[in-house]
Amino acid sequence: YQGLAGRSTNEVLQLYSAHGQQQKLQRNSVVIQLHGAIKKRLKQDLKSLHSLAVELSKDFQRRSKAYLYQILTAVQGIQLQNEAMQMLQIKAFDLEQSLEEVTERYEKEKQKRRALHNSLVELRGNIRVHCRIRPLLPFDTAAGHSISQDRQRNFSEKVAYAVDDETVLVKCSRPGHASINKTFQFERVYNPLESQDTVFADVAPLLTSLLDGYNVCIMAYGQTGSGKTYTMLGPQLEENFAYAIEDESELGIIPRATQEVFRLISEKPPGSYWVEVSVVEVYNNEIFDLLAKDSCGKVSGVKRDVVTTREGKSDVPLLMYETVENASEFLHLVNKGLQLRVRHPTLVHADSSRSHLVVTLTITTIVSGDNFGTSWEDEQTSQRLSKEVSCTFPQKMRDNTSASSSRASSPVQLEATEKMKQVKTRLQLVDLAGSECVGMSGVTGAALRETSFINRSLSALADVLGALAEQRSHVPYRNSKLTHLLQDSIGGDAKLLVMLCISPGQKYLTESMQSLGFGTRARQVQRGQVKKKNVPLPSKAK
Ligand code: ADP
Ligand code: MG
Determine, yes or no, domain membership for 36: yes
Does 118 lie in the same domain as 35?
Answer: yes
pLDDT score recorded for residue 531: 66
Any binding-site annotation on 510?
A: no
Q: Would the CB of 353 count as within 6 Å of ligand 1?
A: yes
> Is residue 299 a contact partner of residue 292, using CB atoms and an 8 Å limit?
yes
Q: How many other CB atoms are found less than 10 A from the CB of residue 476?
A: 14
Q: Which of 132, 137, 454 to mutate to test the pocket of ligand 1 (most atoms within 8 A of CB)?
A: 137
Determine, yes or no, domain membership for 195: yes
The Cα 69–Cα 486 span in angstroms is 90
Give the pLDDT mean for 12-40: 93
pLDDT score recorded for residue 36: 94
Compute CA 483 distance to the chain's CA centroid, rounded to the nearest angstrom.
Answer: 30
The Cα 396–Cα 412 span in angstroms is 11
Helix axes 196-211, 253-266, angle to 10 degrees: 40
pLDDT score recorded for residue 157: 86
Any binding-site annotation on 222?
A: yes
Residue 474 maps to which CATH number? 3.40.850.10
Whether the pLDDT of residue 217 is over 80: the answer is yes
- Nearest CA-CA partner of 505 in 151, 251, 254: 151
pLDDT score recorded for residue 419: 61
- Nearest CA-CA partner of 279 in 331, 353, 231: 331
Does 455 lie in the same domain as 339?
Answer: yes
DSSP structure string for 446-481: HHHHHHHHHHHHHHHHHHHHHHHHTT-S---GGGSH
Computed over every residue of the chain, the mean pLDDT equals 81
State in Å: Cα 179 to ligand 1 middle: 28
Determine, yes or no, domain membership for 412: no
Does 160 lie in the same domain as 103?
Answer: no
Give the pLDDT mean for 10-28: 92
Does 215 lie in the same domain as 113?
Answer: no
Does 272 lie in the same domain as 186?
Answer: yes
DSSP structure string for 149-195: HHHHHHHTSB-EEEEETTEEEEEE--TTS--EEEEEE-SEEE-TT--
Q: Which ligand is nearest the CA of 139, by number?
A: 1
> Is residue 206 a contact partner of residue 216, using CB atoms and an 8 Å limit?
yes
Does 469 lie in the same domain as 357?
Answer: yes
Does 111 lie in the same domain as 216?
Answer: no
244-281: pLDDT as tens digits: 556 788 899 999 999 999 999 998 888 788 899 999 99
Helix, strand, coil proportions of the chain in percent (round to 5)? Answer: 50, 20, 30
Structural domain containing residue 355: 127-137+155-368+419-524
pLDDT score recorded for residue 441: 58
277-331: pLDDT as tens digits: 999 999 989 999 988 876 666 656 788 998 988 888 888 988 889 999 999 899 8
Any binding-site annotation on 487?
A: no
Return the higher-pLDDT residue of 350 and 194. Answer: 194
Return the higher-pLDDT residue of 490 and 389. Answer: 490
pLDDT band at 450 (very low <50, low <70, confident <90, very high): confident
Determine, yes or no, domain membership for 374: no
Determine, yes or no, domain membership for 386: no
Whether the pLDDT of residue 414 is over 50: the answer is no
- Nearest CA-CA partner of 132 in 427, 519, 522: 519
Any binding-site annotation on 434?
A: no
Return the higher-pLDDT residue of 410 and 155. Answer: 155
pLDDT band at 491 (very low <50, low <70, confident <90, very high): confident
Whether the pLDDT of residue 388 is over 60: the answer is no
pLDDT score recorded for residue 341: 67
Does 109 lie in the same domain as 169?
Answer: no
- Nearest CA-CA partner of 512 in 435, 454, 459, 453: 435
pLDDT score recorded for residue 222: 94
For atom 23 of ligand 1, the residue with the nearest CA is 134
pLDDT score recorded for residue 184: 97
Does 306 lie in the same domain as 289?
Answer: yes
Four-CA torsion 36, 40, 41, 47, nearest 10 degrees: 160
> Strands 307-308, 314-315: parallel, antiparallel or unpaired by DSSP?
antiparallel
Total domains in the chain come to 2
| Single-letter amino acid, residue 222 | G
- Nearest CA-CA partner of 425 in 384, 364, 367: 364
Determine, yes or no, domain membership for 92: yes
Q: Would the CB of 252 count as within 6 Å of ligand 1?
A: no
Does 47 lie in the same domain as 166?
Answer: no
Determine, yes or no, domain membership for 264: yes
Q: Which ligand is nearest the CA of 356, by number?
A: 2
Q: Would the CB of 259 count as within 6 Å of ligand 1?
A: no
> Is residue 460 a contact partner of residue 483, using CB atoms and an 8 Å limit?
yes
Q: Which of 188-202, 356-370, 439-453, 475-489 has the lowest mean pLDDT?
A: 439-453
Does 96 lie in the same domain as 169?
Answer: no
Does 182 lie in the same domain as 110?
Answer: no
pLDDT score recorded for residue 406: 31
Return the higher-pLDDT residue of 40 and 535. Answer: 40
pLDDT score recorded for residue 344: 53
Determine, yes or no, domain membership for 144: no
SS3 call for 341: helix
Whether the pLDDT of residue 87 is over 60: the answer is yes
Helices first, then strands: H and E counts in the chain: 15, 15
The Cα 163–Cα 146 span in angstroms is 34
Q: Would the CB of 235 count as within 6 Å of ligand 1?
A: yes
pLDDT score recorded for residue 493: 77
- The rounded percent of the chain whose pLDDT value lies above 70 is 77
Q: Which of 92-96, 288-292, 477-481 has the lowest mean pLDDT?
A: 288-292
Four-CA torsion 142, 145, 147, 149, nearest 10 degrees: 50
pLDDT score recorded for residue 300: 67
Compute CA 362 distance to the chain's CA centroid, rounded to the nearest angstrom.
Answer: 28
pLDDT band at 524 (very low <50, low <70, confident <90, very high): confident
Q: Would the CB of 531 count as within 6 Å of ligand 1?
A: no
Whether the pLDDT of residue 356 is over 80: the answer is yes
Longest dimension (CA), the chain: 191
- The rounded percent of the chain whose pLDDT value lies above 90 is 46
Give the pLDDT mean for 199-216: 89
Whether the pLDDT of residue 405 is over 50: the answer is no
pLDDT band at 35 (very low <50, low <70, confident <90, very high): very high
Give the pLDDT mean for 155-165: 88
pLDDT score recorded for residue 350: 55
